[in-house]
Structure 1
Amino acid sequence: MQTTVFEQVKETVYHETLENGLKVFLVPKQGFSKTYAVFTTRYGSIDSHFQTKSGEEINVPDGIAHFLEHKMFEKKDRDVMHEFSKNGASCNAFTSFNRTAYLFSCTDKLDSNLNLLLDYVQEPYFTDASVEKEKGIIGQEITMYDDNPDWKVYMNLLKALYQDYPINIEIAGTIETISHITKEYLYQCYDTFYHPANMLLLVVGSFEPEAVMKLIRENQSGKDFPPAPQISRIFPEEQSSPAKPLIEANLAVGLPKCMIGIKERENGLTGEALLKRDQTTKLLLDIVFGTSSSVYEKLYDSGLITESFDFDYSCEKDYAYSILGGDTPDPEKLVETIKSVMEECKQAGIDEDAFERAKRKKIGNFMRGLNSVEFIANQFTNYKFNGNDLFSVLPLLESITREDVETRMKEHFLIDQMAVSIVRSASAQE
């Protein structure tokens, strides 16, 4: 077992790659009552077109990664949820565009819960009958999301930004696509993407690293795994510009919802370069549109935005985009105002005092986050899968200069890379 010490944040990470390829990371936090464990596979909703270990090229139905996540909890003769509950643990799982994670938190019986997590994720059990039953359950979930204005405005924005890249596809799929899912498809995806060599296990909280690593080694050494498949994902070539300037929908809302996206023109960054782009862009957005900015104050005082106004930046190797918006009485005016703000900021540059305030705020928020095992558990794997360390964020943040942010602004605040999604009241159709 190796250790990496991050002196600046006073954190030590214990890590080991097991014989089966599983990467294990332990972050002890003495004095904390709660422990989190997250078992993650690098497999999400975008991974529907790939080459199998036999060399066969396959397209599986949209929504299958999410469907598989649901089915992992069902076993022939045991109730996983009940077992976690009996151990005093809270368990959950989620599927994103490029990851599926299984997790639990507990204050006691870490050994039992950790063995349970590893065992149930590594024991697939699918039957024709249970797959058919699940289609109805997930179909109801899909219908619920279709009627959710916040989800609809977000997914429509991704459809406007991306022509072919599969983050424009619903994570849960559609009722039509999941109707084609079979247990054979599920086993095929499981065998391809759930091999330990494609997975990462993180444990963070109050425990003795040597004892926990010993438990994990013993659990994994008692199981047989085939050689790790060579995973070959296949993605369409995406155009650099947005697919559509605007997508509108009508649902039951009080105020219209307006979300503006900026599609990154150049992709392909990895490691520290990707991390710097991510943090610099988030800092930029906070300087210009954060609640302490003059822009936010003017928009709010004028009634053009409400407290729902927010922004974020999603940054992966193959895609990246900013989103900002919220409820507004006048979506068109908000869009034009945001465009004007971006152009004015590029001309005026970044105010030094505003930069320093936003940077101190971001560093402070990050340091506070490190006092939360939930924060570490939720963030650690994302950074690691992108070739970075969560605990390296602080020195990188401290190294960012005002000039870095201005350069990023000129690269990213591009009007021709923008797209808009609006959800209006259903009565607006009348």
Structure 2
Amino acid sequence: MAKRAGSADLPLHGGRVPPWLAQRMTRLGAVMVEAIVREYGRDELLRRLAHPFWFQSFGAVMGMDWHSSGITTSVLGALKRGLAPLAGELGVHVCGGRGRHSRATPDELTAVGLRTGLDGAALAQASRLVAKVDSAAVQDGFQLYLHGFIVTDEGRWVVIQQGLDDGRRQARRYHWLSEGMTGFLDTPHAAIEGRGQGEIVNLADRRAEASRRGQLALLGDLGPDGIAREFARLEPRPAAAGAQPLLPHLCLPDRHEVRDGDVVARRLHGNLAAAAERGPVDFAELLLVPGVGARTVRALALVAEILHGAPCRFTDPARFSLAHGGKDRQPFPVPIAVYDRTIGVLKSAVRGARLGCHEELAALKRLDDQARRLERAAGGPSVEALIAEERRESHRYGGRSVFGPEPPPGPRSLGERA
């Protein structure tokens, strides 16, 4: 049985993803998904997408605002664009999106069924039911505006949809996973992300079964007068014993800047130490991608954790924004040169895996393994110091944000590589 995995607060932010970042997110997202599928399989990809902490970290490492609800729209859009040409080979199909694209989801799933032999009508029905549960059965004040449906050739799927509350300037993301589901009205969510704001009506919770039966009985047997009498007899009741315990809760603040408290320092220091130790061994000699230097390997250490890390590793999504920065210049401008070389390294590794040579993908896994070993003892700069360094060096790495290219801070040294 699928169940909630956690929750998070997501502040609403306006604006669009600039084309220079959207194109790179498409390329990076596609090659990362392909690496996961080749290493762990399609079912594991769906489990990760259904994990709210992993999903937020995935968006952060791609250069989106690390704490914003916009990660949901931009990541799903990037995957839809990037995986479309690979759908036949990878067996992963991304449907839906925001606004009118969400309403087209059933038709897109029907088309997937025609191409793959899956029951497209059943998938379309599942899409409609998921949307109905989160818009009608779960009444929490958030209006759905985004619905993404990702299905594999085996017919297994994950749904990621999001609602907004304009009055509170907040968003709530809902994760569904088909694995283990026995129905749509018995605690079906893999996760619901959003701020706890008191009691809500959730008729999709297994504890609401008696309520659902009672509502049908009232409508069928008592009529309007009977319903009025029952309502008058209602009295406040104490909370039921054995209520569901609190789940892990990811609280993402409204502020843009990344602070020390947003990052688990020992994990960050492990990433940095592993990059320093493994880089000369695995990347300069093994991958031989032109221009790869220490800064790119630092970004790859964080990307490698997205590919190989366990769920418990993603409680601090802000850490992954230190790979490629953010479009709003937080924590620092997107280092275009580093971003492009990250994509180049991953493409080289995946291209080798297609030909049966998995050594380059294995090098990325060794980088992640080493980070976990070293984090127990590794030290390093504070988050603020690292961000300050990145901003000083940003122009050298082709730093860019929605405000434009990053200007040089002063005289710069030549001959150094990203």
Which TM-score applies when normalising by structure 1? Answer: 0.27
Which TM-score applies when normalising by structure 2? Answer: 0.27
